[in-house]
Chain A
Amino acid sequence: MRKADEQGFREFAAANAASLRRTAYLFCGDWHTAEDLMQSSLMKMYMAWKRIKELDNLIAYARKVLLRTWLDEKRRPWRRAEQRDGELPDTADATVDPDNTSAKLWARELVHTALLQVPPRQRAVLVLRYFEDLSVAEVAVAMGCTEGTVKSQTARGLATLRAIVEKLDSSSGRVAS
């Protein structure tokens, strides 16, 4: 690869690595796996850089690669075998950071734990729509499906998420807002 191209990739990777890792974390729920997913995606992009460097929206392409990488990874037998217990973890000690109220921590863990129980494709739609703030059309491009599918997956994903949150809330004695 030419030096100029390599420099272009270096700048793109440095600028977007953190946001890609965050998205990957919401997909998979584990920071180590998220870092692996982000690095694998960037490696794939580097190998195709000559072809993709002229694209208008490189970050959208990166999200698409990340999503595919994660879905591929989930299909692998050793990942399939991985089971999460679905239990709400203990909340962090709120006294460590006075800015964090226990209610905030609770909301965070609740959403995150519930999100991990939503089916993968529905979870991906929710993350892209509500965390990345993408439009329906952009999510459709990233997911490689129609806008109608995105809408239906969003509706189903929200319903599933709400049901899980409610269940978790009631089992812990809190009242869902």
Chain B
Amino acid sequence: MSEQEIREGMLLAVWDEPPLDFDPDTLIRRVEQKKSRRRALVGVGVATAVIAVASFALPGLLPRDRDSQLGSDGQTSASATPSESAEIRVQRIGDKLAEKLALTEPTLKEVYSDLKVGRSGPSGTQVVPGNPGDWAYWGYVYLTDPIGPTALRVEATRFGFSVQSFCASAVLCRDVPQKDGSVVTEAEFTDGSPEIARAETVRKYPSGLVVKVSSFAYNPATGSGVRQTVPVHVGVLTSLVTDPSVNWE
């Protein structure tokens, strides 16, 4: 087969071509649509990437204790709803507590809380069973005063509480009755030092829940930061424990 025959064969192969229905305007329209679709796709991609980055970056930028407060902003009461998880309830109590302390003592800086569900134990937090009778939580309200950073200790549990043993070594111990039937006991301790080394306020609810807020002459969260006296006095602790916006139960 010669090259000429190949040429002819190729020409014959396309000889019966079907009619061409080609419109350049349709093609141009298709290209423009394709371009706009691509632009839209890029826009969606960029927006998705921005949202993804923001959702990962924001929790890191916010302080840990504020995480759940985003959801609770706008609520005026710390009262819990039945569907709320225990962790959120406890964080809300902590947030209210920090808010109240910052209002009461304006000289304090960086006031925030870190409360956990469960009981405080030697190896950290002990998980408590889910039934309401075992409702317990504990943690710290961190603060910085002119001396430096320290914390208040907060504990709520249904442990047996006896005023006699609580006040045994106290230099001041008195009951402050409340209208709702709960009893508040405030006490100050020197623990052998010339000034008040420990101040504690306990509120016992008729339900059996006992809430204790303590201020120490050291940082109870770290065990260091020893100072001459307590950073927050017993009167302020009592105002925290009796604040109506904090739903301890």
**A interface with B by C-beta (< 8 Å):** 6, 9-10, 13-14, 17-18, 21-22, 25-26, 31, 35, 38-39, 42-43, 46-47, 92, 104-105, 107-112, 115, 126-127, 130-131, 158, 161-162, 165-166, 176-177
Dominant secondary structure at the B interface: helix
Of all chain B residues, the one with the shortest Cβ separation from A29 is B13
B11 and A131 contact, CB distance less than 8 A: yes
B28 and A112 contact, CB distance less than 8 A: no
Dominant secondary structure at the A interface: helix
Please classify how large the interface on chain B is, using the bins under 10, 10 to 19, 20 to 34, 35 or more: 20 to 34
Nearest CB on A from B4, distance (A): 9
A10 and B5 contact, CB distance less than 8 A: no
| A107 touching B9 in the complex, CB below 8 Å, given contacts A10-B25, A14-B24 | yes
A115 and B10 contact, CB distance less than 8 A: yes
**B interface with A by C-beta (< 8 Å):** 1, 3, 5-18, 20, 22, 24-25, 27-28, 30-31, 34-35
Q: Which residues does chain A contribute within 8 Å of B22, judged by CB atoms?
A: 13-14, 17-18, 35, 38-39
Interchain pairs with CB closer than 8 A, number: 89
Select which of A18, A110, A130 is within 8 A of B7 by beta carbon: A130
Q: How far is the CA of A2 from the CA of B190 in the complex (A)?
A: 89
| A6 touching B28 in the complex, CB below 8 Å, given contacts A31-B17, A31-B18 | yes
B10 and A127 contact, CB distance less than 8 A: yes
Q: Which residues does chain B contribute within 8 Å of A21, judged by CB atoms?
A: 17, 20
A111 and B31 contact, CB distance less than 8 A: no
Q: How far is the CA of A126 from the CA of B3 in the complex (A)?
A: 10
Of all chain A residues, the one with the shortest Cβ separation from B15 is A108
B12 and A108 contact, CB distance less than 8 A: yes
Interface centre among A14, A110, A111 (most CB of B within 10 A): A111
B28 and A22 contact, CB distance less than 8 A: no
A10 and B9 contact, CB distance less than 8 A: no
A107 and B14 contact, CB distance less than 8 A: no
Select which of B10, B18, B24, B30 is within 8 A of A111 by beta carbon: B10
Nearest CB on A from B9, distance (A): 3
Nearest CB on B from A38, distance (A): 8
